[in-house]
Amino acid sequence: MQLTLIDWSIIIGYCVVSVLFGLWFSYRNKTKEDFFVAGRKLNWFVAGTSIVATYLATDTPLVVSGFIRRAGIYENWFWWTMALSGMFTVFFFARLWNRAGVLTDVEFIELRYHGKAALMLRIFNAFLRIFGICICCGWVILAVGKIVSAIFNIPSTVTFSISTFTFSIYSSVLIYGILLVLALSYTMFAGAWGVVMADVLHFFAAMVGFIVLAVIVLYENRGPGGLVKNVANAPGVSPAVFDFFPNFKTAGLLAIFTFFVYIGLLWWWSAAGLGIVAQRMFACKNGKHAGLAAIWGFFCIIVLRSWPWIIVGLASLIYFPLIPGEDPELAYPKMMVKFLPGGLMGIVLAAFIAAFLSTIAANLNLAAAYLVNDFYIRIICPNARNKKHYVFVSRIATVLVLIIAVIVTWQMTSIAGAWKYLAEVYAGAGFVVLFRWFWWRINAWSEISAMAASFILANTLKFIPSLAPDEMFPLRYVIIVAVSSVIWIIVTLITKPVNLQHLEKFYLKVLPGGWWKPFADKPNMPKCEKVSANWFGWIISVLTIYLGLFGVGYICLARYAIGGICLALFGLGTYVTISAIAKISIDKQAVVEISELSIKK
């Protein structure tokens, strides 16, 4: 396919505007707090929009199309469960993270734990997170290769040999090389301020592009009713492709097991709010803005962005019949080639560029934060005379992480496979990362043992032939969680607790809920927060998001009556959710008590 002059003008114009927009905020970077958490001055809308822009990514439309072609709409529960973890973060952790006052979620380790074990865990965790970010950047870069391959009808990789060595290089390397330089340019100089403000631009640009393609597809099929009819009549398509849940009467045991693993277990590892979500909450003005940011972000992630991609994925079954052995993730870019004329192709490609830049920029900034704040400053140079020295080092770290991410990309073939691998790596530490806030007895060795067990199992279970196939991911995940949990609980009980004086300081700073009786029962000590109202808010907020998701979905599938009912309930649930957030803030008297006791200590 040949892009027109209009297409190139839109693409180049958007790239220039994005870089200049991001660079505009470079003047605000005077300290490491400015560079990594925007001086802790963000409001909920900017922070929340940055969260969803980061999760837009170039890979997700391709994976969604692949899910639909493999199993149907319900396969998207793999990432729809983010509503469960996201709202758990809002109601149980947003205020705690904000009160912790750390620069990264890894820095929290030495706030919670004490001694050499805590330092070792912090450094190990920092590099493990950087490893995960490089994989994330890798699958985003891989998606660019697949898009370029489909649009320009060229092989995604070119293989060549030198002597006895064979090398493979992406044919799209020049294109994504340019995009990486664009992302690096404003991330390196503008830091978090440039990243989050550019994210706002990227979010709206990306959504416009994705919606344009979905609208064209619906128009070509004469609306939602025509789309459903044409998909149902496509060769080899099962009626189950439209189901939001697996059919428990006809679906196989493995499909049902997979669904329950997704909704019951998969989301726990990120429920405490880690990575980008935590970083954006650190950057908010206060706990209220942190909570609202997470709600707005995950509403957009689950409800707003799902259906433009699902519509295109469903329609691909009409125009590109299922072929055994095909790469289902190429369906989305093939639909772009088929339906987008000159001009509109430029708009949708600009949307992908927006998604690419927002994800790469945010992850580079976060990885640099881990490398600088949790390793360089903590170990190598803790007391630089010139505070701008840390900003300079952060820029160098940003470039280093990008180079590693590009190397990691060469080892990938499947975006969905990379998603699942990373989920397995972090799976075993999910529960201990949650309970460290609520149970004083957990120590650094608890977390070390859980992470080590999870990492080892994630990289060894695939060598067992019966567990190696991709469809066995749910069983591997359950094994990793179960074994790791047994290990960390035993380690917790046989090792010494954290120094009690250190724990008391943590308690006074964060005021967590749960099992902190040795500290909460002390005279004149502020009490833990009551979490009963939090459970109500979490349940209502999750139901609200899914009502919005299903409401929009039913309308897109021409089931207007039930869609309208879901959206009406969604509106009511939104009001209740926002009211619930207002009721879980810590009262002013407790804040006074914490401040006074912290000064005395």
- pLDDT given for residue 206 in this prediction: 84
Per residue in 21-44, pLDDT tens?
777 766 666 677 777 777 788 888
Radius of gyration of the chain (CA): 24
Q: Are 122 and 362 in contact (CB under 8 A)?
A: no
251 or 19, which is more confident: 19
Q: Where are the beta strands (DSSP E) in 21-164?
A: 157-162
pLDDT confidence band for 179 (50 / 70 / 90): low
- pLDDT given for residue 160 in this prediction: 46
For residue 113, give the amino acid letter. Answer: Y
What percent of the chain is modeled with pLDDT above 70? 85
448 or 325, which is more confident: 448
Which of 55-64, 108-117, 274-283 reaches the highest mean pLDDT? 108-117
How far apart are alpha carbons 561 and 438 in whole angstroms? Answer: 44
How far apart are alpha carbons 200 and 45 in whole angstroms? Answer: 9
Residue 409, pLDDT above cutoff 70: no
How far apart are alpha carbons 48 and 144 in whole angstroms? Answer: 25
Residue 583, pLDDT above cutoff 70: no
How far apart are alpha carbons 350 and 333 in whole angstroms? Answer: 13
Per residue in 558-576, pLDDT tens?
999 999 999 999 999 988 8
- pLDDT given for residue 572 in this prediction: 92
Structure tokens at 68: 């639909």
Residue 423, pLDDT above cutoff 90: no
- pLDDT given for residue 601 in this prediction: 43
DSSP annotation of 165 reads E
Residue 155, pLDDT above cutoff 70: no
Give the three-class secondary structure for 311. Answer: helix
How far apart are alpha carbons 82 and 86 in whole angstroms? Answer: 6
| End-to-end CA gap in the chain | 69
Strand partners, 157: 170
CA nearest neighbour of 316 among 402, 241, 206: 241
Mean pLDDT of 462-478: 88
- Run of H or E including 168: strand 165-170
Structure tokens at 575: 């009001």
Structure tokens at 90: 């809002």
Average pLDDT for the chain? 81
Per residue in 488-522, pLDDT tens?
999 999 999 999 999 999 998 888 878 888 887 77
Residue 167, pLDDT above cutoff 50: no
Structure tokens at 534: 């939090």
Give the three-class secondary structure for 515. Answer: strand
Residue 140, pLDDT above cutoff 80: no
Domains and CATH numbers, the chain: 5-250+276-410 (1.20.1730.10)
- pLDDT given for residue 27 in this prediction: 63
Calculate the alpha carbon distances from 129 to 123, 135, 366 in Å: 10, 10, 9
Structure tokens at 523: 């005279």
Which of 415-429, 510-524, 543-557 reaches the highest mean pLDDT? 543-557
How far apart are alpha carbons 128 and 114 in whole angstroms? Answer: 20
pLDDT confidence band for 185 (50 / 70 / 90): low
- pLDDT given for residue 586 in this prediction: 41
Give the dihedral sign, CA 496/498/499/501: negative
Tokens 């999910």 belong to residue = 430
- pLDDT given for residue 315 in this prediction: 94
Q: Are 62 and 210 in contact (CB under 8 A)?
A: no
How far apart are alpha carbons 393 and 191 in whole angstroms? Answer: 12
pTM beyond cutoff 0.85: no
What percent of the chain is modeled with pLDDT above 90? 24
Residue 169, pLDDT above cutoff 90: no
Q: DSSP characters for 330-393?
A: GHHHHHHHHH--TTHHHHHHHHHHHHHHHHHHHHHHHHHHHHIIIIIIIII-S--SSTHHHHHH
How far apart are alpha carbons 216 and 470 in whole angstroms? Answer: 34
Give the three-class secondary structure for 51. Answer: helix
DSSP annotation of 70 reads H
How far apart are alpha carbons 76 and 68 in whole angstroms? Answer: 8
Residue 71, pLDDT above cutoff 80: yes
pLDDT confidence band for 189 (50 / 70 / 90): low
CA nearest neighbour of 87 among 303, 369, 364: 303
Give the three-class secondary structure for 57. Answer: coil
For residue 412, give the amino acid letter. Answer: M
